[in-house]
Structure 1
C-alpha cells in the first residue's frame, strides 16, 4: 500500500512538473518579444517578525496569498482560497453547515487563526479554523501562512502553524471607494431563490493624520438540492451579513486604530416530511469583535506593539415543526431543540522590540486570554478559563548569512498546570547567495478549550458531550527547509523550496466514544499522535506570468500499531497543486487556473463482522481533483469583470470506506466535497484618488 502511494505521488509530481515546464517554455517565446523591464520584489511579511521585512530575510518560511489572487479567484469565502494550498484539507459537517480544516495533518485546534495578529474566536471559545468562512474576503489585504512551531510567540494553538489574515487599511491622503457584485450558480441550480448571490461595498478616507474605513457585505447561498428530494438539501442554505468600521490616527512615530467587526449568520436545515410533519432547524450566529491596536516608537531603538480585543459571540438554535398539509409553523417541543449559548472572550497582547546592535535584537511580550461561556448546552459549572503568558525571544545575527532566534514562553493557566517554560529555536543559514537553510524546534502546551470541557450538543445527527476530565496536550515539533533562488533577473525569477516537518503530540485531544455509553461521542486524550511530511514548491514569476506548483506527502500516525506491530507506523497521503495567472496587458485581460489534487486518505480501524469478531482493516477516503478557471477583464478605468468556472471537474462526493462510528456521527459512506460545476460572473468597482 505504501509503495502504491509513493508511485501515485511520483506520478502526480511528474505531471505537475511537466505542466510547469511546458508553461515556462511557452512563455519564454512570449517574453522574448517584450523589451519592457519588470522588477520582481520579495513579499513583505509581518507575522512573527520583530518588524516587517522581506520574506527572504525571515527565520520563518512564510507563504503569502495576495489580495489580487483572492479577487482573481472570485472567492466568496476563505475556504475557496485556502483549499488550493498544500498541506491544507477541509471536511464538511453537513448537519451544521460548517467546515473544519487540518494543516500538517493536525486539526483546527492546533492551527492559530489570527485577524491582524489577534486570535479569531469561533463557537464556544475555540480559536481555530471553524470560523474561517465567517471572515469577509472583500476586506482582506493578504494572508500569511507560517507552518511549523510558533508556540513561543503565539501559544500552543500554533503547533501546526499560524494563518494571519491581514485586513485592508486606508492609505495616506487617499479616498477609496469599492463595490462588488457577484452572481454564481450552485452546480446547475441558479435563479432568484437559487445559487449564490454576493454584494459588498466599502469606503475609506484619510484626512491628515486621521483615517476611517467602513464596509458592508452580504453573502446569500440558497443551498444545493443535489439528489435530495422534497424540502431537503444536500448543502444547507446560508445567509451572512458582515459589517466593519475602523477609525485610526497615525504620524511619523505612532499608529493606533479601533476596529469593530460584526457578523450575523443564519444556516437553515430544512427537514423532510414524516407523518405529515417536518422538523426544521435554524442556527443563528451573532458576533461582535472589538479591536484596539497601536504601534509606537518609544526611542530610536525601542518600539512597542499592543492590542486588546473583546469578542462577544452568541449562537441560537431555533427548531420548528412544519405541518405538511396546512403549512403552519410552530415551535418544536423536546429537550435541546431550543437553545441560546453565548461566549465572551478578552485577549490582550503586547510586544516590545529593542535593537541593541546590528547583531542583537530582543522581543519581550505578554499574551493574556480570558474566556467564559454560558447557555443550555454549556455545563453550569463551567468556570472562566484564563491563560496568562510571558514570552521572550532574541535574534542574533553574527553575520549577514546567519540568524539564530531562541525564545521561551512562561504560561500560567487557571485550570491546568503548564511546564515551567516552553522553549523554541528558529535558525536561518545563508549557505550561498542563492541557497538558504531554515531549521526550527519548539515545545508546545495546550489546555483544553471551553468547548472540549463543557459543551454538550444533541440533535438528529450529533450526540456530543464535553469532558471536564481532559488532560492538557504537550508537543514537540521540528521543521526544516531549503530555499533555492534558481534564477533572479529584473524580468523574471524562479524559486524552489523543500520543507519537512515532524510533530509529536502527547495526550492529544480527539473525538472518541464515551466509556459508559458508546452511543455518545465525547472528547478523549490520545496517548500519542504524530505527523510528518515533505513539501516541495516552485514559483516562476515574470511581468506577465506567475506559476506556482508543488507536491506534498503527509504521514499520520497509526494509533493501532500497538495492537499489531506488523502494521505501518504511518499512513501517507499525497497532494499536488498548481496556481497560474497570465496577464495580457494590451487587452487588459488576465487568465487564471487554480488546481489541487487531494490524494486518498488511508486510516486503519477496528471493524466488527457479522459474527461479532473484531479485526483491523484499512479504510480510506478517496482522492479527488479540484480545478477553477477564471478570467478577469478591465472594462473601464474603475470597473472590471471576472468570469469563471468553479469546480470545473464537477466533484460532489467521494467514497469513504470507513465503518467507524466513533466520531461525532458515522464517518462511513460518501464524503461531501462540493456542489458540482458552478459558473459565476462578478463586477468590481474601485476608485482611489
Structure 2
C-alpha cells in the first residue's frame, strides 16, 4: 500500500515536470508584518519566518488551528482531556514562552495546567494567514516571546465588491458519526467594500459531540464541545491612511459527564466567554515618516458549572455552590511606534508598549489580582551594504510586581552572499514576569491539584538563532529552496511544576536553569502543479539532573520528520498530503518511591492527513479527506508519577480520537 501511494505521488511529480506547456513557476511575493518596521517579503526579512497561507488551511479541511500546526516542525501539542483543552510547545520551550497575537495584539486568556493560550479557541475561518517567527522577540513584543511568536493575520474585505461565503463541514470522530456523534460545523461570512470603506463579518458554529473511546457508558474520553464564534471588522483605507476596528466573540461550552456515585452524578460544564476589541491605525505622514498604533481590550471569563443528575429520574439541578466557580481576566494592550527613514540605509523605530491584566475570582488570592507591564523600545534597521544589514533593538521595562533588567537587548543580522544564498543570525535577551495564574491561582478538581506561588521569580533568557537559506534551483519550471537552522535557548529561573511541602499539592517553582537546542532542515520543491516539502528537526531538552550526577547526559534528544505534498491536477482539482513523525521523547526523572534516577520515554508516533478539493466554477467547492490516517489515539508514556499537575500516573498520553473522515461544502458569491 505504501509503495502504491509513493508511486502515485512520484507520477504526480513527473507529470508536473514534463508538462512544459503549462509549467510557469509563480513567484509568491509573501509579505510579512510580524516584527517588521513595514511589510516586506520573506526573503528580505532579517527574521526566520514561516508563513502558512489561507490556501493551506483550506486544502486541509481544518476545523481548528491544531489541525494545521500539528505537522509543523518544532511545534508539539499535548491534550488535557480533563479540561478539554490543548497546550503547545515550541523549540523545546513550553507554551508559556510563546506569544500568540491576533493582528499583532496579544491574545488574553491563558488557562489550563500549562498556563498557555488555547489555539483551538480561535476562529480558523477568519484567518488570512499565520506568521510564525522562531526565536526571541522580547524587544518588540515583550513577555512570553522567548521561544517565538505566532501572529494570526485575519481577513479583511479589501476587494471592490460584495463577498458572501458559507460552508458546512461534517466529520466523524474516529469511527463515531451520527446526529449525536462526530463533528458538525457551519460558517457564514459577508464582506463589502465601497471606495475606501470596507466591512466584513462572520459567524461560525463548531459542534464536536465528543468521543467515547474506551470510557465507561456515561463518560467520554474526549468531552463534547460547542463553540460559537462571531466577529466583524470595519475600516477605512487609502494610500496614506489605514484605520480599522475589529471585534470578536467566543462562547465555548465543554460538557464533562461523570460516573454515577450511588444515585447521583456530578456533571460539569466548562463555559468560556471571550470578547476582544481592537482599534488599529497606520498613517503615512510623509515618505520618511510612518505612524502606527494599536489598542486591544479583552474580557475573558471561564466558568465551571456543576450539575447534579439523579440516576433514576434523570432530573438535573444545580449542585452545591462550593462546586461552582467563575474566573475572569481582563487585559488591555496599547502600543505604538514611529518609523522614521533617515536615509535609504537607516530606519529608526521608537515605540511604546503597555500591557495590563487583572484577574478576579474565588480561586485567586484575595479574590482579585493584577499585573502590569510598561515598556519603551527602540529598534533600527541598518543596511551596511548591498549584501549586509543588521537590526539592533533595546527595550526598557517597568513591571508592577517585578524588577526587570535595566534593558533587554537584541540584534538580528542578515548577510547575502549571492542571489541564491543568505545567512541570518540573531541574539535576544528575554524577560518574563510570572502570570497571574502562576502567582495567585489555586485550582482543585478530581484531576488537578495546583496552587499558585506568589514567591516566584521572573524568568530571564538568552537565545541564539542561526539560519542558512538557499535557493538552489530557480528555473521557469522548477524552484528548489532549502533552509538549515539551529537554535540555543538558556532560561534562568525557568518556571515549572514542583511538589509543595506539607500538602503534596502541585505548585509552580523556579528551577535554576533550563536549556533547549536543536537543528532544523527544511526543503521545498515548487512547480506550477506541485509543492513538495520535506523537513527534519532534532531537538535537545535540558536534563536538570545532570547538575547532581555528571554521568548523566546534559540533553535528551528527540527527532521530528515531516513532509507535505500539494498537487494540482488542474485549476479546479487538487489533492494534499501532510505527514509528521514525532520521535520518542526521553527524559530523566526521579522515581517517587525509591528516589532513584530512571530514564522515562514517551513513545513516538506517526500522523498524516490526506484530502482532495474540487471547485465548480467560482461558486462552489467540495473538500473531502481522512484525518489521522495512522489511527493514533494514545501513546505510551513510561514516566512515573512524581507529583505532576495531574493526579494519577497514567501509562498513556492522549493524542487523537482515531482515524476520521470529513467532507466540507463551501459556497462563495462575489459581485
TM-score, scaled relative to structure 1? 0.94
1:327: how far off? 0.9
Which of the numbers 577, 586, 611 marks the counterpart of 1:593? 577
5 Å matches for 1:178-197? 178-197=165-184
Q: Which residue does 2:531 correspond to in 1?
A: 546
Per the alignment, in what secondary structure is the counterpart of residue 96 of structure 2?
A: helix
5 Å matches for 1:496-507? 496-507=482-493
- Structure 2 segments unaligned to the other structure (5+ residues): none
Per the alignment, in what secondary structure is the counterpart of residue 27 of structure 2?
A: coil
CA contact (8 A) 2:589 2:599 kept: yes
Q: Which residue does 1:66 correspond to in 2?
A: 53
Q: Does 1:206 align with 2:193?
A: yes
CA contact (8 A) 1:40 1:490 kept: no
Q: Which residue does 1:408 correspond to in 2?
A: 394
Q: Which residue does 2:613 correspond to in 1?
A: 632
Which of the numbers 584, 597, 601 marks the counterpart of 1:616? 597
CA contact (8 A) 1:601 1:620 kept: yes
1:129: how far off? 4.5
1:274: how far off? 2.1
Give the superposed CA RMSD. 1.9
Q: Does 1:651 align with 2:635?
A: no
Distance of 1:43 and 1:319 partners within structure 2: 48
Distance of 1:137 and 1:329 partners within structure 2: 34
Specify whether residues 531 and 123 from structure 1 end up closer, same or farther in structure 2 by C-alpha distance, changes over 3 A only: closer
1:488: how far off? 1.1
Specify whether residues 30 and 297 from structure 1 end up closer, same or farther in structure 2 by C-alpha distance, changes over 3 A only: closer
5 Å matches for 1:564-583? 564-583=549-568
Distance of 1:571 and 1:202 partners within structure 2: 47
Per the alignment, in what secondary structure is the counterpart of residue 219 of structure 2?
A: coil
Per the alignment, in what secondary structure is the counterpart of residue 57 of structure 1?
A: coil
5 Å matches for 1:411-560? 411-518=397-504, 520-560=505-545
Q: Which residue does 1:318 correspond to in 2?
A: 305
1:300: how far off? 1.6
CA contact (8 A) 1:77 1:133 kept: yes
1:172: how far off? 3.5
Which of the numbers 639, 660, 676 marks the counterpart of 2:658? 676
CA contact (8 A) 2:83 2:112 kept: no
Which of the numbers 266, 275, 298 marks the counterpart of 1:288? 275
Distance of 2:193 and 2:649 partners within structure 1: 52
Q: Does 1:297 align with 2:281?
A: no
5 Å matches for 1:145-160? 145-160=132-147
Larger deviation, residues 213-222 vs 660-669: 660-669
1:419: how far off? 0.4
Larger deviation, residues 36-45 vs 62-71: 36-45
What does the per-residue CA deviation read over 1:573-625, in whole Å, with 9 as the maximum and x for residues that have no partner? 10011111000116x2101001010111111001144xxx3210000110000
Distance of 1:21 and 1:296 partners within structure 2: 54
Q: Which residue does 1:270 correspond to in 2?
A: 257
Distance of 1:667 and 1:53 partners within structure 2: 49
1:316: how far off? 1.0
Distance of 2:398 and 2:7 partners within structure 1: 53
Distance of 1:244 and 1:144 partners within structure 2: 21
Specify whether residues 329 and 381 from structure 1 end up closer, same or farther in structure 2 by C-alpha distance, changes over 3 A only: closer
CA contact (8 A) 2:463 2:488 kept: yes
Specify whether residues 650 and 387 from structure 1 end up closer, same or farther in structure 2 by C-alpha distance, changes over 3 A only: same
Which of the numbers 335, 349, 364 marks the counterpart of 1:363? 349
Per the alignment, in what secondary structure is the counterpart of residue 325 of structure 1?
A: coil
1:492: how far off? 2.2
What does the per-residue CA deviation read over 1:214-246, in whole Å, with 9 as the maximum and x for residues that have no partner? 100000000000111211000000000000011
Per the alignment, in what secondary structure is the counterpart of residue 659 of structure 1?
A: coil
Distance of 2:7 and 2:289 partners within structure 1: 48
- Structure 1 segments unaligned to the other structure (5+ residues): 1-14
Per the alignment, in what secondary structure is the counterpart of residue 384 of structure 1?
A: strand
1:681: how far off? 0.4
CA contact (8 A) 1:121 1:127 kept: no
Per the alignment, in what secondary structure is the counterpart of residue 428 of structure 2?
A: strand
Distance of 2:525 and 2:296 partners within structure 1: 39
Per the alignment, in what secondary structure is the counterpart of residue 252 of structure 1?
A: coil
Specify whether residues 388 and 241 from structure 1 end up closer, same or farther in structure 2 by C-alpha distance, changes over 3 A only: same
Larger deviation, residues 469-478 vs 394-403: 394-403
Distance of 2:338 and 2:287 partners within structure 1: 13
Distance of 2:201 and 2:256 partners within structure 1: 32
1:687: how far off? 2.3
Per the alignment, in what secondary structure is the counterpart of residue 58 of structure 2?
A: helix
Which of the numbers 388, 402, 411 marks the counterpart of 2:374? 388
Distance of 2:114 and 2:658 partners within structure 1: 31
1:119: how far off? 0.3
CA contact (8 A) 2:111 2:117 kept: no
Q: Which residue does 2:130 correspond to in 1?
A: 143
Specify whether residues 42 and 445 from structure 1 end up closer, same or farther in structure 2 by C-alpha distance, changes over 3 A only: same
Distance of 1:126 and 1:380 partners within structure 2: 21
Distance of 1:278 and 1:170 partners within structure 2: 49
1:446: how far off? 0.5
Larger deviation, residues 156-165 vs 272-281: 272-281
What does the per-residue CA deviation read over 1:184-206, in whole Å, with 9 as the maximum and x for residues that have no partner? 00001000110001100000101
Distance of 1:616 and 1:126 partners within structure 2: 25
Specify whether residues 603 and 566 from structure 1 end up closer, same or farther in structure 2 by C-alpha distance, changes over 3 A only: same
CA contact (8 A) 1:112 1:127 kept: no
Q: Does 1:351 align with 2:359?
A: no
Specify whether residues 384 and 126 from structure 1 end up closer, same or farther in structure 2 by C-alpha distance, changes over 3 A only: farther
Q: Which residue does 1:172 correspond to in 2?
A: 159
CA contact (8 A) 1:549 1:579 kept: yes
Q: Which residue does 1:122 correspond to in 2?
A: 109
CA contact (8 A) 2:164 2:669 kept: yes
Q: Does 1:561 align with 2:546?
A: yes
Specify whether residues 125 and 53 from structure 1 end up closer, same or farther in structure 2 by C-alpha distance, changes over 3 A only: farther
Distance of 1:253 and 1:584 partners within structure 2: 42
Distance of 1:672 and 1:175 partners within structure 2: 44
Q: Which residue does 1:90 correspond to in 2?
A: 77
TM-score, scaled relative to structure 2? 0.97
Specify whether residues 557 and 628 from structure 1 end up closer, same or farther in structure 2 by C-alpha distance, changes over 3 A only: same
Specify whether residues 295 and 117 from structure 1 end up closer, same or farther in structure 2 by C-alpha distance, changes over 3 A only: same
Per the alignment, in what secondary structure is the counterpart of residue 383 of structure 1?
A: strand
CA contact (8 A) 1:124 1:373 kept: no
Q: Which residue does 2:100 correspond to in 1?
A: 113
